Amino acid sequence: MAAPLSSMGVVPDLRSGPARKPELAVCMIAHITAVKMPTLHRHAEEKFFVSAEGRKEPVPSIHDPPTKELSVVVPSYNEEDRLPLMMDEALDYLEKRQKRDPSFTYEVIVVDDGSKDQTTEVAMKYCEKYGSDKVRVLSLVKNRGKGGAVRMGVLSSRGKKILMADADGATKFADIEKVEEGLKNLQPWPNQMAISCGSRAHMEKDSIAKRSYFRTLLMYGFHFLVWFLCVKKIRDTQCGFKLLTREAALRTFSTLHVERWAFDVELLYIAQHLRIPIAEVAVNWTEIEGSKLVPFWSWLQMGRDLLFIRLRYMTGAWQLETRKCN
């Protein structure tokens, strides 16, 4: 078990006195309300995926040796309308790449995060078309949140490298080559761990011109909190296009606590404290209608999560430990 971050030089100033009482109260609340580690337990139905032939096959583990070059994890919640465009683009690219280089092997894992629509049925059509060795559908019994869905997919992956990709297809899938180059440029990887993040930071001026003043204010507020509380050197923590080595994915996702929208920030916060090298690479991104993010309330929830990420690691309520999924 790793030591609390206070022993790594991050020490909260909890001196007594009237000026310190509000800070002390917030730290105490963060510590007392902390869930030590979210359960990595799988429901019985989540320990299997259904093959293209209709057979139940056991889900592999990230603790096993890799058998593919690349795993693509696609978290999906009520994505029956947007998922086909993303899957068509991704699989077209992956199939063409495999034809050019037969040694390149891949899998796409669609994680249905307790959807109420036909997301699983839509994803299964691709499993039937391409085979369950290439496309797998993991259906979660109940909604865990985007971070929880990504984690379940990552922990079930077989790739040497693991790509997170959003179901809306907002990032051009061929830009995987850009994040791969970013990962390559980080070599030599300490303990075979490295992360390359797709970034929309270069598009910030254009996006501001299209947003309302209120949404722009929320965006700047969130970016400031990320920088001030958690992650200093990455300008865009929230782009859903991230490539990790298998070892980096194992260490970060098995430590992750946050299961909702702010999970990307905790992921990178963990990576920084584990001294995992991180690259940020500009990618092509287009806003797609149908976002599940509710502007004000989602940003408010993420702001709360950012504060708790910092305080809970700082006070030792959360620690950097690796767990195995049951």
CB 99 within 8 A of CB 71: no
Residue 312: which of 83, 36, 16, 3 has the closest Cα?
A: 36
Instruction: State the alpha helices, DSSP H only, in the chain.
Output: 21-32, 83-100, 119-130, 146-154, 176-184, 204-210, 213-225, 246-253, 263-273, 295-314
d(CA 240, CA 227): 18
Max Cα-Cα span within the chain: 69
Residue 282: which of 202, 162, 181, 204 has the closest Cα?
A: 202
d(CA 326, CA 316): 25
Gap between the terminal Cα atoms of the chain: 19
Q: Which residues of the chain are modeled with pLDDT < 70?
A: 1-39, 203-219, 290-299, 322-326
Cis peptide before 75 (omega within 30 of 0): no
pLDDT of residue 181: 97
d(CA 153, CA 62): 10
Q: CB 142: neighbour CB atoms within 10 A?
A: 9
Residue 244: which of 14, 66, 13 has the closest Cα?
A: 66
User: CB-side exposure of 95: number of CA atoms within 13 Å?
Assistant: 12
pLDDT of residue 282: 92
pLDDT of residue 3: 47
Q: How many helices (H) and strands (E) does the chain have?
A: 10, 9
CB 146 within 8 A of CB 113: yes
d(CA 122, CA 112): 10
DSSP sequence for 140-190: -SS---HHHHHHHHHTT--EEEEEE--TT--B-GGGHHHHHHHHHTTPSPG
pLDDT of residue 15: 46
pLDDT of residue 86: 96
pLDDT of residue 12: 46
The residues, ordered by sequence, that sit 6+ positions from 60 with a Cβ below 8 Å of its Cβ are 156, 157, 158
Residues in the chain: 326
d(CA 138, CA 156): 9
